[in-house]
Amino acid sequence: MANNDMNDKRVVIVGGGSGMGFALAELLVAEGARVHLAGRSERKLAAARQRLGASVTASRTDIADEDDVQRLFADPVDHVVVTAADANGSYSPIESFPLKAAWTVLGTKVIGPWLVAKHAAAVMATGSITFTSGIAAYRPSPGSSVLATANGALEALARTLAVELAPIRVNVVSPGWVDTPIWDDLAGPAKNERLAAMAAKLPAGRVGRPADIAQAFRALLGNEFITGTTLHVEGGHRLV
């Protein structure tokens, strides 16, 4: 059953200060949702609030810190979306991958969402929790061992929690290559060249835009008959 009314729904978006999370916030604010942004960068959160308007609230939150997460969910919520990612140190050959960097990736991509579900579920009756994995779980490349592992683990976590936390729905959106600020860190000056090269390979003929992913999140929030599912939004990347 679809419930497309987001008016007055309270939605927490972790990682909503930029990129895909911000695009979703824009979409939901336009529909009358009460959006709360959470993230580690106060600068990004402040800029997002300025663009989105006074109805949006925000708090600095490190989802790998359980005390932070517990404070984030002091009040009831209807939907939670986790888009948080950590590009710095995510890619490196295994022989030179520092253990500390690996723990950081796993903390942001797996333990953090696990903590979010743990504490969000305590203040939710129904609604949904949606995580973000990624194409690395399906099209791994050299240097992506930790990120591919984290993305695959996150999808397994969602399937488990869809059963354990029911009737709260738990799903995953798995994006492909999306033109977001994270690519400034990953590729630097070569960003446009690398994105153009991938666009030429994809059946869709282009890389993703934040709005593409926001619409996928929105579909999962509104459809009450989808749970334990991974929604792929990657322009056909798994096929090539």
Q: What is the pLDDT of residue 183?
A: 86
Least confidently predicted of 35-49, 69-83, 182-196, 222-236: 182-196
Rg of the chain on CA atoms, in Å: 17
- Sheet harboring 128-132: ordered strands across? 57-60, 34-39, 10-14, 79-82, 128-132, 169-175, 230-233
| Catalytic positions | 133
Phi and psi for 95 in degrees, rounded to 5?
-70, -20
Q: Is residue 2 part of a domain?
A: no
Q: Is residue 237 part of a domain?
A: no
The answer to whether 82 and 154 have CB atoms below 8 angstroms apart is: no
Instruction: Give dist(CA 8, CA 23) in Å, integer.
Output: 18
Q: What is the pLDDT of residue 144?
A: 93
> How would residue 185 be classed by pLDDT, with cut points 50, 70 and 90?
confident
Least confidently predicted of 36-40, 185-189, 206-210, 227-231: 185-189
Task: Read off the pLDDT of residues 49-65 as tens digits, 9 standing for 90 and up.
Answer: 999 998 899 999 999 99
Q: What is the pLDDT of residue 221?
A: 98
Q: Give the distance from CA 109 to its chain's centroid.
A: 9
> How would residue 87 be classed by pLDDT, with cut points 50, 70 and 90?
low
Q: Is residue 238 part of a domain?
A: no
The boundaries of the domain holding residue 39 are 10-230
Percent of the chain with pLDDT over 70: 97
Q: What is the pLDDT of residue 31?
A: 97
Domain count, the chain: 1
> Cα angle at 36 between 33 and 54, to 5 degrees?
75
Q: Is residue 124 part of a domain?
A: yes
| pLDDT higher than threshold 90 for residue 84 | no
User: Which residue type does 147 have?
Assistant: L
Q: Is residue 23 part of a domain?
A: yes
Q: Is residue 32 part of a domain?
A: yes
> Cα angle at 142 between 88 and 139, to 5 degrees?
95
Q: Is residue 239 part of a domain?
A: no
Q: How long a stretch of residues is the chain?
A: 240
> How would residue 187 be classed by pLDDT, with cut points 50, 70 and 90?
confident
Domain holding 214: CATH number?
Answer: 3.40.50.720
pLDDT, greater one: 102 or 1: 102
Q: What is the pLDDT of residue 4?
A: 72
Q: What is the pLDDT of residue 186?
A: 78
Q: Is residue 75 part of a domain?
A: yes
Average pLDDT of the residues in 173-195:
90
Task: Read off the pLDDT of residues 111-138 as tens digits, 9 standing for 90 and up.
Answer: 999 999 999 999 999 999 999 999 999 9
Cα dist from 219 to 42, 93, 207, whole Å: 29, 36, 20
Instruction: Give dist(CA 230, CA 97) in Å, integer.
Output: 28
Q: What is the pLDDT of residue 1?
A: 42
Task: Read off the pLDDT of residues 1-14 as tens digits, 9 standing for 90 and up.
Answer: 455 799 999 999 99
The mean predicted confidence, pLDDT, of the chain is 95
